[in-house]
Structure 1
Amino acid sequence: MIDVLLKKGKEKAVLQRHPWVFSGAIEKVKGKPSNGEVVRLTDAKGVFLAYGFYNDQSRVAVRLLEWDESVTINKDWFSARVAQAVESRAHLLAGKNTNTCRLIFSEADYLPGLIVDKYADYLSVQILTSGIEQVMPLIIDELQKLLKPKGIFDKSDTSSRTHEGLGESFGVLAGNPPPEIVEVKENGIIYGINIAEGQKSGFYCDQRDNRRVLAGYVDGKTVLDCFCYTGGFTLNSLKQGAAAVTSVDSSALAIETFNDNIKLNKLDATKHTAIKSDVNSQLRKFRDEGAKFDVIVLDPPKYAPSRSALDRASRAYKDLNRLAMLLLNKGGLLATYSCSGAMDMETFKQVLAWAALDAGKQVQFIHQFCQPEDHPVRSSFPEGEYLKGLLCRVW
């Protein structure tokens, strides 16, 4: 196994079990490991620190796997990691109300660069690092043994692969291709999702708990669901007795899908209005028309993919939330989210305070939202905490 030596004084984060080693922290590589190969990381004196995947094309040159030198990184090691992740989610799928969740969440489950989502009888996979790509045959074997899915589909069509020197990867990895529409159930609500053509891995199961919580506030209310995608907040609102729900998304496929989902769940379509539009433009149009709502949901895409984009993203979040606050009836509720890992909760609260000031509104934070337990946050890797949200009462 090839040794990778750190510069003097650069071992602190490794000793604290942070899983990333940046290229600038490396003093020397004793040999020429291939990208994705497991290497032995040492301090400047050659003392063992950890094992990890190596990649000289990535800013994260080593993604750490194991800190115990006596452990061998082999098929059994990867099988155990997969089994541990799957077994820890078993209770989420034990009942009849939910058959979809995230089974493996990358660094949080000690498998850096691997995302696995379960959608009924199918698995959707994203392979984001060269190391995981090297061991995918082992991982596929273990997933098939544990879950016996009808098919495993690769959706690694993400830009983050380019940082690892990898091209797009897309298609069936094992079993059968998924049908055009796979029906999944979350909290008793049925969703028809398109794994192959849908966003990310096919469906945003990270809002499962937050959809359920917000649904408890909508009975008899008028609801505006922005960036609605396949209609998670919309469907929960209609099921829980909302007086009317308006859903806005720029994707024609998303609107077609959630209209079908309304039919699947036998919900009252007369209470629902779908609008295909850019959300910011539509909010301005609502403002100009004098439209008002009791509850507004803002679940935008990632505005801050990195810390360098945080200032620009903060301005975008502020403007979006300011517009929404202007559309709420007095005492109305704003459920607003950020999926940007670079945006921490305190910064998000400050952005909302600025939005309230510009809108001439008073805001109370009455509930904090976060990602669910199948998206755990590893204590040594706080960067894994990306989804945050606030339920705000706006006066």
Structure 2
Amino acid sequence: MIKVILKKGKEKAVLQRHPWVFSGAIEAVKGKPVNGDIVRLVNAKGDFMAYGFYNDQSRVALRLLEWDEQVIIDEVWLRDKIRTAVAARMQLLNTDDTNACRLIFSEADYLPGLIVDKYADHLAVQVLTSGIERLMPVVIDELQTLLQPKSIFDKSDASSRLHEGLETNNKLLWGTLPPDLIEVKENAVVYGINIAEGQKSGFYCDQRENRHILARYATGKKVLDCFSYTGGFTLNCIKHGAASVTSVDSSALAIETLTENIRLNGFNQAKHTAIKADVNSQLRRFKEDGEKFDVIILDPPKFAPSRSALDRASRAYKDLNRVGMLLLNKGGLLATFSCSGAMDMETFKQVLAWAALDAGKQVQFIYQFCQPEDHPVRSSFPEGEYLKGLLCRVF
């Protein structure tokens, strides 16, 4: 096995079982590994430290898999990791009201670069590393054997693949092509999921619990759902008796699917208004028109893809939330989220404090949202805790 030598003084993170080794921490490579090869990581003295996927095109040159030298990383190892991850989610799916969840969550499940989401009888897969890419025939076979899905669809269109030297993919891997809309249930709400054309893998299972929690505050309220996508928060708020819900998203497909989702659930369409628009522009129009809401939901895309973008992202989060606060009735609720892993909760709270100051508002933090159990956070990989949110009462 090809040997990668770590620079002296760079052992701490590896010993703490953090799964990433950056290229700058590598002293030398003995041999000529092909990207995606499993290599042996040793310290400056030559002592074994871990096995991992190697990629010289990525800033994360090694993604570590095992710290036990006696473990053989082979097909049996891979199948065991997949079965363990899937088994841990079965309690979520053994109910009558939910048949969608994340089955495998990359580093959190010790499979760096592999994401698998289950939507009823269909699986959506995202492959983000060259190491996993080379193991996909085994991954597909094990998923098919375990779950017997109607399809396994490759939704590996994330730009991060380019950093691994991989092209983007959007294709069927196994089974029959999934329909344009797959009907799934989450907390007894029905959704139409479009895997091929939808964002990410087709849906955002990471907000499942947060949608359910927030909805109980919407009863009898005038709600604004921004970056609504296909209506996760919108549908839950209508189900729990919101007086009205206005949904704003820039995607025509998302708005079209949201409208269809309201029909699928048999909800009163008169309670709902859908607006296809840029959210920031639409918020300013609401302000100019003197519109006010009782509950506002801000669930934007990732503003900070890395720590180097954090300052710019903080300004964007602050401005978005400042305008949101100005549109609330006194004592209204702002449910605001960040899916940027680079922004921790304390920084997010500080950004909201700045937004409140600029808006001339007083804010109480009354609830903290987080990602659900099918998106676990590995103790040695805090970067996996990317989703955070706050429910704020604004005066």
TM (norm. structure 2) is 1.00
In structure 2, what is the Cα distance between the partners aligned to 1:5 and 1:46?
Answer: 7
3-state SS, counterpart of residue 241 of structure 1: coil
Compare 164-173 and 336-345 and name the one that shifted more: 164-173
Tell me, in whole angstroms, the C-alpha distance in 1 between the residues paired with 2:240 and 2:169. 40
- The aligned residue for residue 316 of structure 2 is 316
**Match runs of 1:114-263 below 5 Å:** 114-263=114-263
- Amino acid of the residue matched to residue 63 of structure 1? R
- Structure 2 residue 42 is the aligned partner of structure 1 residue 79: no
Query: Deviation of residue 111 (structure 1)?
Result: 0.2
Equivalents in 1 of 2:297, 2:150: separation in Å?
35
Q: Map residues 51-66 of structure 1 onto 2, 5 A cutoff.
A: 51-66=51-66
Distance in 2 between residues matched to 1:174 and 1:57, nearest whole Å: 29
The residue type equivalent to 2:147 in the other structure is: L
Give the whole-Å Cα distance in 2 for the aligned partners of 1:165 and 1:393.
46
Q: Whole-Å Cα distance in 1 between the matches of residues 304 and 8 of structure 2?
A: 32
What's the CA shift string for 1:344-370, capped at 9, x where partnerless? 000000000000001000000000000
Deviation larger for 137-146 or 103-112: 137-146
C-alpha displacement of 1:170: 1.9
Aligned to 2:42: 42
**Residue matched to 2:266:** 266
| Aligned match of 1:109 | 109
Task: Tell me by how many angstroms 1:133 deviates.
Answer: 0.3
Supply the distance in 1 between the matched residues of 2:169 and 2:332 (Cα, whole angstroms). 45
C-alpha distance in 2, partners of 1:270/1:56?
56
1:193, CA displacement in angstroms?
A: 1.2
Partners of 2:124 and 2:285 lie apart in 1 by 38
2:301 equivalent to 1:305 = no
C-alpha distance in 2, partners of 1:243/1:8?
63
**CA distance in structure 2 between the aligned counterparts of 1:207 and 1:194, rounded to whole angstroms:** 17
Please state if 1:6 is matched with 2:6. Answer: yes
Q: Distance in 2 between matches of 1:50 and 1:387?
A: 29
- Tell me, in whole angstroms, the C-alpha distance in 1 between the residues paired with 2:61 and 2:276: 42
Question: Which residue does 1:15 correspond to in 2?
Answer: 15
Query: AA paired with 1:373?
Result: E
Cα distance, 1:12 vs structure 2: 0.9
3-state SS of the aligned residue for 1:315? Answer: helix
What secondary structure sits across from 1:169 in the alignment?
A: coil
1:350 corresponds in structure 2 to: 350
Amino acid at match of 2:36: G
Give how far 1:169 is off: 1.6
* 1:27 aligned residue: 27
Query: Amino acid of the residue matched to residue 356 of structure 2?
Result: A
Per-residue deviation, 1:168: 1.1
Once the two structures are TM-superposed, the CA of residue 271 in structure 1 deviates from its matched residue by 0.6
- Give 3-state SS (helix, strand or coil) of 1:123's partner: strand
Name the CA distance, whole Å, in 2 between partners of 1:61 and 1:323.
41
2:376 matches 1:376: yes
Q: How far apart in 2 are the matches of 1:179 and 1:260?
A: 15
CA distance in 2, matches of 1:83, 1:336: 35
Distance 2:11 2:2 in 1: 18
Letter in 1 for 2:386: Y
Letter of the aligned partner of 1:271 in structure 2? Answer: K
Query: What's 1:326 paired with?
Result: 326
Summarize deviations over 1:316-340 as a string: whole Å, max 9, x none.
Answer: 0000000000000000000000000
Q: 5+ unaligned residues in a row in structure 2: which ranges?
A: none
How much has 1:38 moved relative to structure 2? 0.3
Distance in 1 of aligned mates of 2:308 and 2:282: 28
Alignment partners' CA distance in 2, 1:193 and 1:144:
20
- Matches of 1:43 and 1:9, distance apart in 2: 9
Q: The residue matched to 2:348 in structure 1 has which SS?
A: helix
Distance 1:358 1:54 in 2: 47
Q: Which runs of 4+ in 1 moved over 3 A?
A: none
**Rounded Cα–Cα distance in structure 1 between residues aligned with 2:306 and 2:33:** 28
Shift, 1:297, TM fit: 0.2
Q: CA deviation at 1:162?
A: 0.4
2:281 corresponds in structure 1 to 281
| Shift, 1:252, TM fit | 0.5
* Letter matched to residue 159 of structure 1: S
TM-score by length of 1: 1.00
Helix, strand or coil for the counterpart of 1:92?
Answer: helix
Q: Any gaps of 5 or more consecutive residues in structure 1?
A: none
What does the per-residue CA deviation read over 1:146-178, in whole Å, with 9 as the maximum and x for residues that have no partner? 100001000111100000011112211111111
- Per-residue displacement from partner, 1:75-130 (whole Å, max 9, x unpaired)? 00000000000000000000010000000000000000001000000000000000
Q: What is the rounded CA distance, in whole Å, between the counterparts of 1:378 and 1:190 in structure 2?
A: 31
Q: Deviations over 1:173-211 (max 9, x none)?
A: 111111111001000000001110000100001000000
